[in-house]
Amino acid sequence: MKIGVLSFHGDFAEHISVLTALKVQSMEVRTLEDLEQVDRLIIPGGESTVIAKFLQMTGMDRVIRKRVAKGKLAVYGTCAGAILVAAKAKGKNAPSSLGLINIVVERNAYGSQMQSFEAALKVKGIAESVNGSFIRAPIITKAGRGVEVLSMHDGKPVLVRQGRVLAGTFHPETRGEIAIHKLFLSL
């Protein structure tokens, strides 16, 4: 198993650090050739419109969709990554999403950088609370058919799964939290 972290923009280094702590083989993904070498991909937080443009310019968007549809790639999107894997993204300047998981996400719904916060989250299948950082985080406004809600915060889904696609509106990696990455490795 080789895990790739999309490493064009955002907090990819923190994800690599968590994967290193878990002692799993990982690599930075910057090209189509890199993408072809991995069987799991993390799309990190950052600016969703910038990441979406990069995926479109490189053709990675099409390859990701195709490989997920064939069951050849598992994907975990955090924050901006959750926006990108969604079926639909809403909000000002919402990017084109990849349509990998049947959710609707609203960008920057928790507000500005100043309104960012941390929370201890209960996650289905994980005994201990998980620390999550919500940094200009999106909100999942709808989890459709086939989507399993794994964690909620203030009555809203914050971690969801459909098949081999995981989407979280929070950042576990900024605190070195490993439980969600372990969950992703099990998909």
pLDDT tens figures, 25-66: 999 999 999 999 999 999 999 999 999 999 999 999 999 999
Q: Average pLDDT for residues 138-158, to the nearest whole number?
A: 97
Say which residues have a Cβ less than 8 Å from residue 139's Cβ, sequence separation at least 6: 105, 106, 109, 110, 156, 169
**Which single residue is written with the structure tokens 């349509």?**
99
Q: Tell me the one-letter amino acid at 158.
A: V
Cα→Cα distances 117→57, 94, 133, 178, Å: 33, 22, 6, 19
Neighbours of 10 (CB within 10 A): 23
Which one of 15, 106, 153, 171 is the catalytic residue? 171
Catalytic residue among 15, 106, 153, 173: 173
Residue 114 has pLDDT above 60, yes or no: no
Q: How is the chain split into domains, by residue range?
A: 3-185
The reply to whether 173 belongs to the active site is yes
47 is known as an active-site residue: no
| Separation CA 77–CA 81 (nearest Å) | 4
Lowest pLDDT segment from 44-53, 110-119, 151-160, 171-180: 110-119
Read off the pTM. 0.95
Question: Which pair of tokens denotes residue 161?
Answer: 């799964």
DSSP 2: -
Catalytic residue, candidates 15, 79, 106, 181:
79
Lowest mean pLDDT among 80-89, 91-100, 136-145, 171-180: 91-100
**3-185 CATH pick, 3.40.250.10, 3.40.50.880, 3.30.450.40, 3.20.20.10:** 3.40.50.880
